[in-house]
Amino acid sequence: MSNYDSYPNPPASSHRRLTRRQDNKMVAGVCSGVADHFGVDPTLVRILLVAAVVFGFGTGIILYLAAWWLMPEA
């Protein structure tokens, strides 16, 4: 018996895939998908993205475009 056999199985919700959402999307569904994955409000993720764009000198745009390209659609 290994050490991993004594731990309980993680809840099914922890195995959610990070996907772009087609419902509740504004541009590509990236923020909505991230919010759904972490269980937070999509508006909060959108506000954080805008803050990353403004205070991060455009880093948020690069992150958003990378996520749009890498995340599969739900």
Q: What is the chain's pLDDT, residue by residue, as a tens digit (74 residues)?
A: 555 555 565 555 556 788 888 887 888 889 999 998 899 999 999 999 999 999 988 888 999 999 999 988 87
Q: Are the CB atoms for 22 and 29 separated by under 8 Å?
A: yes
Q: How far is residue 43 CA from its own chain's centroid?
A: 13
Closest by Cα among 10, 13, 28, 12 to 74 = 28
What tokens appear for 64 in the block? 């958003």
Q: State the Cα–Cα distance between residues 30 and 46, nearest whole angstrom.
A: 9
Closest by Cα among 57, 16, 28 to 45 = 28
